[in-house]
Structure 1
Amino acid sequence: MKILDKYLLKTFLITFTTVFVILFFIFILQTVWLFIAELAGKDLDFVLVLKFLMFSMPRIIPLVLPLSILLASIMSFGNLAENYEFAAMKSSGISLQRSMRYLTVSILALSVLAFIFANNVIPYAEFKFINFRKNIAQVKPALAIAEGQFSDVGLYNIKVDKKSGENGNFLSGITIHKKATGGDGSKTVIKAVNGELISSEASSILQLVLNDGNYYEDITPKKYEDRQKLPFAKSSFKKYTINIDLSKLNQVDVDEKDVASTNTMLDVNELRYTIDSLNTSYKTEIVSYSENINLRTGIQRATPPLSTKASYKPRQIPSDILSKFSKEKQSEILKIASSNLVSTNYSIDATKVNLENKQKNINNHLLAFYDKFVIAYACIMMFFIGAPLGAIIRKGGLGLPIIFAVLIFISFHFINTFGKRMAQENGITPFLGAWMSSMILTPLAVLLTYRATNDIGLINMDVILSPFQKLFKKLFPPKKKA
């Protein structure tokens, strides 16, 4: 490796490391802000908060890494061009491609590391992160309930005035609102003087034992005039136990993904196996339902068996078959047929929704599969956008490069999000949804590399203004000299 290559590599790596640390810190603050409801007011010690952040850090890398490469490339090559170092290299016979040779190798190695990280570290971190959020409530159940405010715990909203004990599991001044199943507000209120939270790591059931309290429940009379009296039932108790299922306690993710879906916790081989199993199950269910609906409706297959194909004759159904029956019988037959038709339509609609959900699940797994390759390719693509762009604009520092980097990355992220949403809803194929942003920005990388290699500016104003100049000369021809 020559001195020039070492200099370029050192300049790029220093800039990349600085940018990566700054952006990573910014995204960590964003993560803390998104999960502030789970961290604030829960008496979490520093170790638990640190674990929480450590498990959430790997999911930030796919966002920070391409942006860091893009910004570092623009800044590094912009500084070199601004200080006329590229001009000195070109005068010595060193082209832009030659100066980018070792940096390209380094970016390729970084993209391989990004793939390994996305394939191994991120799935493991996702698994630990989701289970850590669930286990916080199981190991220290009092952490799920904050003092002086209502905390959403399963089917209950719980408020306590004071927590005590080593793990804060002894409660006093308890008020509980039970959520109504019909979605029309809370009709049950439980108040108790004190209570205790009991749990174990082996069970996902959290027991809340209440002492010396009252149970209030609103009653909705059938008659409207009786509802204005607002009747309710009241009972008192010395001891009352509530069992809370913690298996669904922390299943709400900031990205609105179901935690039960394991697509983000699997590597490439596991995803390939899971996708194959899901596709087999999907096709089997379609065949099974089609055969079941044929038997249910009594519809014969349109194609006869091969052995009887020569002598096969379709059954002829008389068009006036109802006329063979009496009026009462005709009415009964039509009612049964109508009922069967409605029932069949309901069954078809329900199965359609179920199959659509299964297809969405398959699409999510396919997107997770392609994402591991997209992040590796995005590192290479962002380098070949940033490096030529920096050489063209000839501006280093944190001014113009940040503007270009943010605009390009926002476009990349927006197209990527749009493509994934379309693929999840089965509007486009998962392959196209995952690779849409890369397909759109790759021509930009090729164009910028070509223009930077041939010393062409970012925008050739002569090409844009030439048609207007010709039109102006035709409309207003110059006067001939006498």
Structure 2
Amino acid sequence: MKIIDKYILKRYLGTFSVMLLMFIPIGIVIDVSEKVNKMIEKKIALSEILIYYVDFTIYFANLLFPIFLFLSVILFTSKLANNTEIIAILSSGISFNRFLRPFFIGATLVSLFALMMGFFLVPSASKGFNDFRYKNLKGNSQTRETSDIFRQIDTDEYIYVSNYNYMSKTGFNFTFEKFKDNKLVYKINSNRIKYNEKSKKYTLHNYTKRTIGVTNDILESSDKKTLVFNFEPDDLTPVVYVAETMSIGDLYSFIDKERKKGNANINTYLVVFYKKFSLPISAFILTLIAVAVSSMKRRGGMGVNLAIGICIAFTFIFFDKVFGTLAEKSAFHPFIAVWIPNFVFGILAIYLLRNAKR
């Protein structure tokens, strides 16, 4: 590796690290200012708060790292251009493609690190982050899933709860329906259902069961009844929350299981799965765009480059959110939806680089 490669790579990784070290504390300060009253009110232990903010840092650093990387590349490349260092490098006989090599090396290192984090570290951080919020930071009216939860747990079995408390593993207004040949066989209702982690069984309060007969139905009721069902508590949690807390292997197995069940929320899980791969690739694309935008010396200086970069960054976020939501809420294929932003901005990167070379 030549001196010029080491110089640019050092600036690449150094500016990116400084960008993270600048913005993550700002995010933590804002979060603390919003939640400090509830933390004091609930007398949360300092050690628990510190663990929460470690998870908070990992969670949001992974979520926003392509944008931080993009802005940091624009920042230090603009500085190189304003100091005429890029002109000196290219005038020495180095081609523009050769000039890009240390940027590719830096993007590769950052992407591999982000990929490993997304596979193994981020799921654990996401679980800790969300668990803390559900347990300590949300009011009593928000500790349960606000929307109705309906799941198909097998080809002919369906469950429904009106509300679900993730922390206490308790659901309310529970219904279980068993079908055969598109006909209802029996239906179970309960005012409250609670999962016991030790016995792996569910306790139903105010239990009723109606078995459909040819001429007469059979009714069964009890104040309290313990049963075994073919579903896990995770089937009752918010779908994105479940997917975000799983490692890549567990998520793949979970998606395969849910696909066999015919789960209607399968697209939501697939969006999370594909984003684990598409997010690191976006580091390459955004790096190329940042270099192409900021490698030219402009009359407005670094401010113009940053303004252009911020517009491109927010456009990228807009595309990512729109197509991700589209895949979750419609029949649009999740793989295509997740990769469209990278494809569109990849074409933009090629176009901008061709102009920059001129």
What is the TM-score with the length of structure 1 in the denominator? 0.51
Q: Does the 8 Å contact 2:289/2:352 carry over to 1?
A: yes
Residue 419 (1) aligns with residue 288 (2): no
The separation in 1 between residues aligned to 2:238 and 2:50, in whole angstroms, is: 24
Residue among 331, 341, 350 paired with 1:437? 341
What is the 5 A alignment of 1:55-454?
55-133=55-133, 152=141, 258=238, 261-282=241-262, 358-359=263-264, 361-394=265-298, 399-454=303-358
Deviations 1:437-463 (A, max 9, x none): 212211111111111122xxxxxxxxx
Secondary structure in structure 1 of the residue aligned to 2:330: coil
What letter matches 2:91 in structure 1? S
Give the alignment of 1:4-23 within 5 angstroms: 4-23=4-23
Contact 1:75–1:397 (Cα < 8 Å) also in 2: no
Q: How far apart are 1:40 and its partner, in Å?
A: 5.2
Q: What is the one-letter code of the residue matched to 2:47? A: V
Tell me if structure 2 keeps the 8 A contact 1:78–1:390.
yes
CA deviations on 1:298-352 (whole Å, 9 max, x unpaired) are xxxxxxxxxxxxxxxxxxxxxxxxxxxxxxxxxxxxxxxxxxxxxxxxxxxxxxx
Conserved? CA contact 2:259–2:266, under 8 Å: yes
Call closer, same or farther: CA 1:418–1:40 in 2, change over 3 Å: farther
Q: Which amino acid aligns with 2:326?
A: M
Aligned to 2:28: 28
- How far has the Cα of 1:399 moved from its partner? 2.4
Asked if the contact 2:107–2:284 (Cα under 8 Å) also holds between the matched residues in 1, the reply is yes
Letter in 1 for 2:249: N
Distance 1:394 1:8, change over 3 A: farther
User: Residue 41 of structure 2: SS of its match in structure 1?
Assistant: coil
| SS of equivalent to 2:295 | helix
Cα distance change of structure 1 residues 45 and 280 upon mapping to structure 2, 3 Å threshold: closer
TM-superposed deviation, 1:118: 0.7
Write the deviation string for residues 343-394 of structure 1: whole angstroms up to 9, x where unpaired. Answer: xxxxxxxxxxxxxxx32x2011101101101211111111011011111354
**Unmatched tracts of structure 1, length 5 or more:** 137-142, 146-150, 156-180, 182-200, 203-250, 252-256, 283-357, 455-482
Please tell me whether Structure 1 or Structure 2 has the larger radius of gyration of its CA atoms.
1
Q: CA deviation at 1:45?
A: 3.9
Q: Is the 8 A contact 2:244 2:272 kept in 1?
A: yes
Q: How far 1:102 sits from its partner (Å)? A: 2.3
Distance 1:132 1:53 in 2: 10
Deviation at 1:32, TM superposition (A): 3.9
Contact 1:123 1:267 (C-alpha < 8 Å) held by counterparts: yes
Which residue identity lines up with residue 383 of structure 1 in the other structure? T
Would you say how many aligned residue pairs link Structure 1 and Structure 2?
A: 271
Shift of 1:403: 1.6
Secondary structure at the aligned position of 2:267 is classed as helix
Q: Which amino acid aligns with 2:332?
A: I
Gaps of 5+ in 2: 145-172, 174-196, 199-232
Shift of 1:405: 2.3
> Cα RMSD between the aligned structures?
3.1
In 1, distance between residues paired with 2:79 and 2:240?
A: 48
Give the direction of change, closer, same or farther, for the CA distance of 1:16–1:395 in structure 2 (3 Å limit): farther
Q: CA deviation at 1:38?
A: 4.5
Residue in 1 that maps onto 2:147: none
Distance 1:20 1:372 in 2: 20
Seen in structure 2, the aligned counterparts of structure 1 residues 31 and 120 have a Cα distance that, compared at 3 Å, is farther
Amino acid at match of 2:57: M
Work out the CA distance in 2 between the residues paired with 1:62 and 1:408: 19
Task: Please say if residues 78 and 302 of structure 2, whose CA atoms lie closer than 8 Å, have aligned partners that are also in contact.
Answer: no
Q: CA deviation at 1:154?
A: 6.5
CA distance in 2, matches of 1:49, 1:34: 14
**Separation (CA, whole Å) in 2 of partners of 1:106 and 1:89:** 18
Judged with a 3 Å threshold, the aligned counterparts in structure 2 of structure 1 residues 449 and 373 are, in CA distance, closer, same or farther, namely same
Secondary structure of 1:94's match?
Answer: coil
C-alpha distance in 1 between matches for 2:329 and 2:344? 21
Contact kept in structure 1, 2:52 and 2:128, CA below 8 Å? no
Change in 2 beyond 3 A, CA 1:153/1:113:
closer
Equivalent-residue separation in structure 2 for 1:144 and 1:427 (angstroms) = 33
Rate the CA distance shift 1:389–1:152 in 2: closer, same or farther, 3 A: same
SS in 2 for 1:119: helix
Residue 4 of structure 1 aligns to a residue whose secondary structure is helix
Q: Which residue of 1 aligns with 2:207?
A: none
Q: Is the 8 A contact 1:20 1:64 kept in 2?
A: no
After TM superposition, the score normalised by the length of structure 2 is: 0.67
Match for residue 179 of structure 2? none
- How far apart are residue 108 of structure 1 and its match? 1.0
Determine which structure has the larger strand proportion and give its number.
Answer: 2
Identity of aligned residues (%): 26
- AA aligned to 1:111 is S
> How far apart are the structure 1 equivalents of 2:22 and 2:347?
29
Alpha carbons of structure 1 residues 144 and 35: separation in structure 2 relative to 1, 3 Å: closer
- In 2, are the aligned partners of 1:78 and 1:395 still within 8 Å (CA)? no
